[in-house]
Every structure is written in structure tokens, then in C-alpha cells.
Amino acid sequence: MLREAKDAGFEASGAWLRRRFVFCAGRVRADRGLTARALARAEADQRAAAICVLCDEPRRWWWCRDRFWWDEDDLSPQDVFALVYEREVRRQRRLERAHAVLGTRSRPEGPRREPVPRELRRAVFERDGGRCVECGARFDLQYDHVIPLALGGASTLENLQILCAGCNGRKGASP
Ligand SMILES: [Zn+2]
């Protein structure tokens, strides 16, 4: 099990030319510190790998992807990196899913009712001969979804037909 070490970080110690950066996690401190240059190198490396920054058996602390972690399971650097990376991906997916849910919920109601594109309307009109497919009327025509949008019907040529307002109303009223 890999856990984030939120109380971990590097502390500067020593004066100027002898300054070292010592890794600390709670009350545990590394024996030796890093020079500023070594710290900068480690910081660059930890983005693409897991770096063991302190070992206090059985616990080891890691620096990986701008966070500190610890484990007591003898994980390899590759294990740690894979786990950290997987966490990031999972978190990203969770965020995307949450935003997607918010996006659907914020619509006023039900499935989106997009207008039937003009090309499609023309194709339906021509196929149905410009008249109501029920009664043949040529006035008050409407484009009707055979399978309603609310039930998963699509705006396609096969799922659209021409009805007059009267027939369309009766269709809506029928059980
Ligand atoms: Zn009709």
C-alpha cells in the first residue's frame, strides 16, 4: 500500500555555502542533506520516476510526481511510479465524469431536442411525398419521430416521418 506523506518535505539547514536540504517526514529526518544542485536534479527526476528519499526500515519515503509517499511493502521505484501515475489518471477520469454529469443535469429537461437539420427535413419530405403518412393531408405538416427522442429515437431518415398536426396529436394521445 502506497500512501501520501502529507507531512513530508525538504528543510533547509546550515548557512549559505554549507546549506543542505534535509528530507523530513514528521519526526523522522534524513541523516544527510542534499546540496541545492542535487535537490534540483532530484526534483527534475521525480517527475518521470519515483525517487527513494529516505529509508527507515521497514518504511521508505518516495518523491514522485511532485508529492511525497511512503510504503512498508518493499515496493520498487517502478511499482511506486505506476501506482502514483494510476492515481492521477483515476483522479482525472473522476473529474471528467463529474463534469459530464453536471453538464447533463444542468439542461432543463430530458434529452436534448435539437432541430432536425434542413437537409434531413428535405429528404423526409421527398420520401413521404410531402403529405401526412397517415391521412395524406398536405397542410399543417410536422416532422415526427417514429420512436420518440425521449425513448432513445434518433433524428435519422428512418426514424422521421411526416404527420399533419391532427394525426400527430392523435399519435401523442394514443396509449
Ligand atoms: Zn394526417
Q: How many Å lie between the centroid of ligand 1 and the Cα of residue 130? A: 11
Residue 104, pLDDT score: 66
Q: Give me the residues of the chain with pLDDT under 50, please.
A: none
Q: How many Å lie between the centroid of ligand 1 and the Cα of residue 136? A: 6
Residue 54, pLDDT score: 95
Q: How many Å lie between the centroid of ligand 1 and the Cα of residue 116? A: 20
Residue 107, pLDDT score: 53
What are the cell numbers at 56? 527507515
Residue 142, pLDDT score: 92
Residue 173, pLDDT score: 67
Q: How many Å lie between the centroid of ligand 1 and the Cα of residue 150? A: 22
Q: How many Å lie between the centroid of ligand 1 and the Cα of residue 7? A: 74
Q: How many Å lie between the centroid of ligand 1 and the Cα of residue 169? A: 9
Residue 53, pLDDT score: 95
Residue 108, pLDDT score: 52
Residue 16, pLDDT score: 79
- The answer to whether 102 touches 132, Cβ cutoff 8 Å, is no
- The answer to whether 148 touches 166, Cβ cutoff 8 Å, is no
Phi/psi of residue 69, nearest 5 degrees: -140, 165
Which of 100-124 are b and which e, b meaning 16 or more Cβ less than 10 Å from the residue's Cβ? eeeeeeeeeeeeeeeeeeeeeeeeb
What are the cell numbers at 105? 443535469
Residue 101, pLDDT score: 78
- The answer to whether 48 touches 80, Cβ cutoff 8 Å, is no
What are the cell numbers at 151? 425513448
Residue 105, pLDDT score: 61
Sign of CA dihedral 129, 133, 137, 140: negative
Closest to 149 (Cα-Cα) out of 134, 160, 165, 162 = 160
Q: How many Å lie between the centroid of ligand 1 and the Cα of residue 21? A: 83
Domains parsed from the chain with CATH numbers = 3-104 (no CATH), 118-173 (1.10.30.50)
Which residues neighbour ligand 1 (ion) by CB within 5 Å? 132, 134-135, 137, 164, 167
